[in-house]
Structure 1
Amino acid sequence: MQLEHFSNGWVTPVLAYLMSFIGSVLGLRCAVRARSSEQAGGWLVAAAVALGGAGIWVMHFTAMLGFSIGGATIRYDMPLTLLSAAIAIVVVLIGLAIAVRGHREAIALPLGGSITGIGVAAMHYLGMAAMNSGVSMEYGTGLVLLSLLIAVVAATAALWFMLHVKGWANTIGAALIMGVAVCGMHYTGMAAMSAHHGDHDMTSVPEGVAPVELLTPLLTTVALVVVGLVVLVGVAELEVRSTAAANPERESGDGDTLTTDPATLAVSGREWPRQRADW
């Protein structure tokens, strides 16, 4: 049977990439806050919702709005669809927690990346299992393994960016790369799929929710998540800047503490030329 992944042209792939990009930006910023905040748990949950929920799960079902099977009607099983969302968020949370709280990056980073990547792939294929179409679907082993590899590499890269990327410009660059990786994993997994009639009745409409009916809850979820996290991250950024402005000591980009106190600067050697002139 003929499978069409771009039945709406480039609209759905572009929207799917945009969802992944937005989720990645917010997720990375929340994860950065988790490393320096006393409320690390709350920030990790926010990061998992942004990256796992908006960046991965919403991206998947946005892309699926452009998927069709020739001669078949597609419906979605809502319990399995919601379960795939829960898996994406929980597994991303576990991966983030391992990477943020692990004492040895050489172990924590690949372990967290592997767990997160496997969770991303599990979310994808569980989301596909939630699709009722009245046809039998099969997957090519080679492309499935490749999609799993892409998911693990993308997740590991996301965690590395979370640990090392500083500043909004670098975060946006990292999110652009993450969007490509997540979308690449999705469409590689879709390319692994083939469908045939089997013994199913093609004339009956399968049970479940129509793809278009997913659009309203998807858009509502995205709007709530994005607005909420933007406000959360924005308030946190303002608080950090206000604290830095009110405090004579501030942190530099590499984590060193800089001070404006002349005595301290003289001892540290940063005011050496001025102190020498005074002598």
Structure 2
Amino acid sequence: MQGTVDGFSYGLVTPVAAFLMACLGGALGLRCTTRSLRHQDTFKAGWLALGATSIGTGIWTMHFIAMMGFTVHQAPISYDRPITFASLGVAVVMVGIGIFIVGYRGATPLTLVTGGTITGLGVATMHYLGMAGMRLHGDIQYDTLTVALSVVIAVVAATASLWAAVSVHGFLASLGASMVMGLAVSGMHYTAMAAVDVTLHGTPAPGTGDTATSLLLPMLIGPAVFLVLAAVVVMFDPLLVMGEPDWQRPAARGGHGHGLPGLPTQRRTSAYGEPANWSARPATRSGRRGAYRDTYRTQDW
């Protein structure tokens, strides 16, 4: 007996909420990855880990918000708790591997393809592992071509996201990139759900695990709180909106003095009697009058 599958039992509520959650996780991950590029010490690993956890948590939360709208009319659905939480761990770990590869090896074509492939496979694995945690009185079959298409979408989206993380700068550009990422991840999810076909076994029986309401709603509170806290951490990043000031860029520094890796280079305050434009060459003319004349000539008014 074929089950009647409905992926939009709450209308547009679950797809829109899932999309927004994917955008939030993607935006946080992009900003954390961008911030990590300014560090070469232990802070780099911390930003990369926060970015990987944000993206993985956002994708996982998006998946199960969307699954709250998935029903089979003739059979109740329940979820196996260990498998469901294992899918979260898979998402965070495999996304982290991809992000760390790009973060430490640079945005070369090889690293982008490698990291994007690993991250995309992690997203797809998270999805299908989460589906494996579903319990209902029947069997779930998948259309092979549609499943392959969903995996391709996941890999392409992940590769594009990693490229955006190291190439896109500025608040508005990052916001646009996160929306594209959220759209791609949501598209991958609903493409994968289009491959689902359910065959019921006789008379439907109640599930043996937790119901969608009793498991998914409480389960989503923790990841949602984490994403909010991560957003607070990122918002306190002074480079989130302002970007790097011109005087901190290598061209503006002119090779004069570098601060600690990942920390802004401070401008040196001119000493008494020293030219304000201290990057200018010191006066070389002999004589007191010539020195004073050169000093005033190099003032940065």
Same fold (TM over 0.5): yes
Q: Which residue of 2 aligns with 1:46?
A: 50
Cα deviation code 1:195-229 (max 9, x no counterpart): 112xx35432111111112112203420x212321
Give the partner amino acid of 2:228. Answer: V
Q: Map residues 157-172 of structure 1 onto 2, 5 A cutoff.
A: 157-172=160-175
Instruction: Kindly indicate whether the alpha-carbon contact (under 8 Å) linking 2:171 and 2:241 is maintained by their aligned counterparts in 1.
Output: no
Residues 241 and 153 (structure 1), Cα distance of their counterparts in 2 relative to 1, 3 Å cut: closer
Counterpart Cα distance in 1 of 2:281 and 2:12:
61
Instruction: Kindly indicate whether the alpha-carbon contact (under 8 Å) linking 2:107 and 2:166 is maintained by their aligned counterparts in 1.
Output: no
Instruction: Kindly indicate whether the alpha-carbon contact (under 8 Å) linking 1:17 and 1:59 is maintained by their aligned counterparts in 2.
Output: yes
Offset at 1:265?
A: 6.1
Give the partner amino acid of 1:212. Answer: T
- 1:250 matched to 2:247? The reply is yes
**Matched position secondary structure for 1:36:** coil
Residues 139 and 234 (structure 1), Cα distance of their counterparts in 2 relative to 1, 3 Å cut: same
Instruction: Kindly indicate whether the alpha-carbon contact (under 8 Å) linking 2:146 and 2:194 is maintained by their aligned counterparts in 1.
Output: yes
**Matched position secondary structure for 2:197:** strand
Residues 129 and 235 (structure 1), Cα distance of their counterparts in 2 relative to 1, 3 Å cut: same
Counterpart Cα distance in 1 of 2:242 and 2:181:
28
Q: Which residue of 2 aligns with 1:182?
A: 185
Counterpart Cα distance in 2 of 1:58 and 1:30:
19
Q: Which residue of 1 aligns with 2:159?
A: 156
Give the partner amino acid of 2:56. Answer: G
Q: Which residue of 2 aligns with 1:262?
A: 277
Counterpart Cα distance in 2 of 1:265 and 1:94:
46
Residues 183 and 262 (structure 1), Cα distance of their counterparts in 2 relative to 1, 3 Å cut: same
Unaligned residue ranges in structure 2 (runs of 5+): 255-266, 268-275, 283-296
List, as ranges, runs of 4+ consecutive aligned residues in structure 1 with deviation greater than 6 Å: 238-242
Counterpart Cα distance in 1 of 2:33 and 2:236:
15
Q: Which residue of 1 aligns with 2:114?
A: 111
Residues 203 and 233 (structure 1), Cα distance of their counterparts in 2 relative to 1, 3 Å cut: same
Cα deviation code 1:21-52 (max 9, x no counterpart): 11111111111111112311111111111101
Counterpart Cα distance in 2 of 1:91 and 1:151:
13
**Matched position secondary structure for 1:136:** strand
Offset at 1:139?
A: 0.5
Residues 138 and 107 (structure 1), Cα distance of their counterparts in 2 relative to 1, 3 Å cut: same
Instruction: Kindly indicate whether the alpha-carbon contact (under 8 Å) linking 2:107 and 2:163 is maintained by their aligned counterparts in 1.
Output: no
- 1:195 matched to 2:195? The reply is no
Task: Give me the TM-score of the superposition, normalised by structure 1.
Answer: 0.86
**Matched position secondary structure for 1:137:** strand
Of all paired residues, the percent bearing the same amino acid is: 39
Query: Which one has the bigger helix percentage?
Result: 1
Instruction: Kindly indicate whether the alpha-carbon contact (under 8 Å) linking 1:135 and 1:202 is maintained by their aligned counterparts in 2.
Output: no
Give the partner amino acid of 1:204. Answer: A
**Matched position secondary structure for 2:140:** strand
Instruction: Kindly indicate whether the alpha-carbon contact (under 8 Å) linking 1:98 and 1:112 is maintained by their aligned counterparts in 2.
Output: yes
- 1:29 matched to 2:26? The reply is no
